[in-house]
DNA sequence: ACCTGAACACCGTTCAAGT
DNA sequence: ACCTGAACACCGTTCAAGT
């Protein structure tokens, strides 16, 4: 609960190789590979060849560490957008960029849910101004609509990532990760093949969301 | 992995009070109160006054039990919609109904992410036909758009629920649960009050999503 | 058929002790 | 200042044994 001892300082006499930075990167790597559920302090310690308790000198606990991981991932959000595109298309690119940034580190999606979906920073400023450019002049309105956009995209990523690690969704063999078999649900036994599984292409689904959302923004803009 | 022994049968000689149904309801109750993370097989067993291993006769494991919980919750989705409303407003109601059903059992949101966001059943059929009525005549298109709707709403609920159990989002005192303080994020220390917290009304945010989404659907419909 | 005792291999975290 | 040994109170799950 309280803040961890700050400033490891220069005189790291014992083990100079074990710093907050080293721990966080190793944690991120482990989480991306094994998933958040598969991650543990003890495994991380083993990976770093230290005792589990050593981590507790640098971090207050697992939550503290997870938070640092989220910040690490978040610190390199960068969405490049082709300036020659129309405003609507730039918003589409923004949404796609947000999604692919989130999928870059799957673990950060799960963690990020618990550690704030922040609407701050230059990426957000850019997003808000894009919405303004579309015709939603009032800044308050633009911010609200941008927040809606962020929540929609982040929520979608959560669903998507959940689907991937799901029990019932099995990847279509031979395809990239973005196709999922949806079972009909509702009392269907896991090994019942009588009901056909529905194949959903998650990319197509996301594009649908993007299209609907942008069209909705345009409508909101033209209403004043 | 394999199927649990089915059919407890009538001759439940030992303890007739311990059935799958009883276990699942108790699990749901416990999860709703303590959250999915706070739930454990051992706690559930304690609550039911049996040994933890007793549960393993009725269920294959924790996952199997969680799945049953999700099905229990899902089995009573019911969204009532005023027939006198316009099609657009009925879609709005549908989205709101979906959201409030999901918030009824917070645990099911988290679990449901891992155990299929199903697009099946009469609720979905109704939703798809609503989209058709709006003017998206092609059934394939309507289904795709409805799926986008479900993912959007479910994703939003996930975000919303995550925000509630979050470390950085603290409820605004004296208000209902639907207001959250959003910290600016990015290197701000948890106890740093120099940067003002942003207050986001989650209900307002959801209404924004609904408005944008429905307007987008209308645009898609009018495009043919 | 239905349940328990005992046990295994894990967790996160703390605390006194080492250097 | 930085780390370890030992320990506490938890997990999910299995397996042999009871009735």
Q: How many residues does chain B have?
A: 224
For strand B198-201 and strand B179-182, is the pairing parallel, antiparallel, or unpaired?
antiparallel
Q: Which chain A residues have a beta carbon less than 8 Å from that of B152? A: 152, 155-156, 209
Q: Give the separation between CA A108 and CA A39, rounded to whole angstroms.
A: 13
Q: Tokens in use for A199?
A: 């194949």
CB contact under 8 A, A3 and B191: yes
Supply φ then ψ for residue A32, to 5 degrees: -65, -35
Contact A157, A104 (CB under 8 A): no
A143 at B interface, C-beta within 8 A: no
The pair of structure tokens assigned to A109 is 């999606």
Does the nearest atom of strand C lie within 7 Å of A37's Cβ?
A: no
pTM of structure: 0.85
Which spans in B75-201 are helix H? 87-104, 106-114, 122-134, 139-164
Per-residue pLDDT tens listing for chain A (224 residues): 333 444 444 333 456 689 999 999 999 999 989 989 899 999 999 999 999 999 999 999 999 999 999 989 888 788 888 999 999 999 999 999 999 998 888 888 888 777 655 555 788 899 999 999 999 999 999 999 999 999 999 999 988 888 766 555 555 555 544 565 655 543 344 444 445 566 778 999 999 999 999 999 999 999 87
Contacts of B158 in chain A (CB under 8 A): 113, 155, 158-159
**Strand C closer than 7 A to residue A2 Cβ:** no
Strand C footprint nucleotides (protein C-beta < 7 Å): 1-6, 10-16, 18-19
Q: Which helix (H) or strand (E) holds A88?
A: helix A87-104
Contact by Cβ (8 Å): A202, A179: yes
A198 pairs with which residues across the strands? A182
Place of tokens 């529905």: A198
- Chain B touched by A192 (CB under 8 Å): no
Q: Does A5 touch chain B (CB under 8 A)?
A: no
Q: What is the pLDDT of residues B145-176, one digit of tens each?
A: 999 999 999 999 988 888 766 555 555 555 54
How many CB pairs lie under 8 A apart between chains A and B?
182
Could you read off the pLDDT of B25-46 as tens digits, one per residue? 999 999 989 989 899 999 999 9
Indicate the DSSP class of residue B198.
E
- Residue B148 has its nearest CB partner, among A154, A169, A209, at A209
- Give B199's strand partners: B181
* Contact predicate A93/A153, CB 8 Å: no
Residues 64-93, chain A, touching B (beta carbon < 8 A): 67, 71, 74-75
**Comparing C-alpha atoms, which of A112, A215, A152 is closest to residue B205?**
A152
């Amino acid at each position: 609960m309280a803040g961890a001892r700050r400033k490891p300082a220069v005189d790291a006499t014992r083990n100079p190789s074990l710093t907050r930075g080293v721990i966080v990167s190793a944690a991120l790597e482990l989480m991306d590979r094994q998933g958040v559920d598969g991650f543990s302090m003890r495994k991380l310690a083993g990976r770093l060849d230290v005792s589990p308790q050593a981590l507790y000198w640098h971090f207050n606990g697992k939550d503290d560490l997870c938070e640092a991981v989220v910040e690490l991932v978040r610190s390199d959000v960068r969405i490049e957008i082709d300036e020659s595109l129309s405003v609507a298309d730039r918003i589409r690119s923004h949404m796609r960029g947000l999604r692919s940034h989130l999928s870059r580190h799957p673990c950060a999606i799960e963690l990020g849910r618990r550690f704030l979906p922040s609407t701050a920073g230059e990426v957000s400023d850019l997003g808000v101004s894009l919405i303004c450019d579309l015709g939603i002049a009032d800044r308050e309105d633009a911010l609200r609509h941008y927040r809606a956009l962020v929540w929609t995209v982040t929520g979608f990523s959560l669903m998507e990532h959940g689907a991937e690690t799901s029990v019932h969704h099995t990847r279509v063999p031979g395809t990239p990760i973005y196709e999922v078999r949806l079972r009909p649900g509702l009392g269907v036994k896991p090994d019942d093949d009588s009901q056909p599984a529905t194949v959903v292409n998650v990319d197509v689904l996301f594009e649908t969301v993007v299209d609907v959302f942008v069209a909705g923004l345009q409508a909101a803009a033209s209403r004043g």
